[in-house]
Structure 1
Amino acid sequence: MSQTAILAAILAEREARWNMRREFASEHGQAVLSLTLNIPGADKNPAGSAEAFASLQQSLRHRIEQSCGHTGCILAEEERAGVDGPCWVAAVNLDPLALKALCVAVEEEHPLGRLADADVLDAQGQPVNRADIGHEARRCFLCETPASLCRRQGKHSPEQIVEYVRELLEHARCDGDC
């Protein structure tokens, strides 16, 4: 598959995922969580990505259940896997700001949290951002600069970033026993 075809497939999957999240919000009238992996480059399914995704998903489920007080907080869910990597979308019976706070906690505290991209929509399908809960933007993989600024400035080579992510994925694949 050519780079152009891969990019087109990734963009099509992202659009389908966006539509699915909005449909979940509309159908269930609840906050919607979407978990994907933040993997740079064209290969969104490198070795270790399935293990990293499963670990992050389990951590989010656990925090949701703890916050909710029972296991019935997730009203509906769907998992997908494709050229854009694994994805989990869930309608969650929690306040969207509280759900976003749980997601940020996993992104910041889990050993693989930097790989997590946990987006939240409110019941009307509007995104809930880190700023909405008083958090700063995500940091770069390699330094303390906001990721979006670091990317625009080209502070790190793509090879440096890919190597960092590869090391995180290796940790996930070995479950810390390497």
Structure 2
Amino acid sequence: MAQPADPKTPRFLAQNRKARFEFHVLEELECGIALTGTEVKSLRKGGASIEEAFGTIRRDEFFLVNAHIPEYAQGNVHNHDPKRDRKLLAHKKEIASWFALVREKGITIVPLALYFVGSRVKLRMALCKGKKLYDKRQDKKEKDDQRDMRQAMLRRR
């Protein structure tokens, strides 16, 4: 008989791979997310996207804006809006500290990953500063150098 999956192991639903390429990640935070029943069912089926999403703070509350969770196929007239703003669940102190940092010019809140931990949906958010074009080139050059060194070491063995 197959072993059941560990409930504490995250099962990733969506990742924002472009975020680390386009931004310097300053700080990360794991938040809960307030969802409706049809959104959770739709997430279990897959197809969510956080590529174009971003975080915002309104009236001391944290929101995820522009994330796409497709409509649940078996849902009825009470199905959810795929692009609605979703409330994020975090401690007030964390929200207040991030709000102070976001007021600085050039700092933004970007989602990195959406995943299940047990039966709960979690979202990894990051406080980011945009990269310039030369930063992106430098990162690509460093990545290429690391790959070349790894290949040279493998050839030496």
Smaller-chain TM-score bracket: under 0.3
Calculate the TM-score normalised by the size of structure 1: 0.21
Calculate the TM-score normalised by the size of structure 2: 0.23
Higher relative helix content:
1
Higher relative strand content:
2
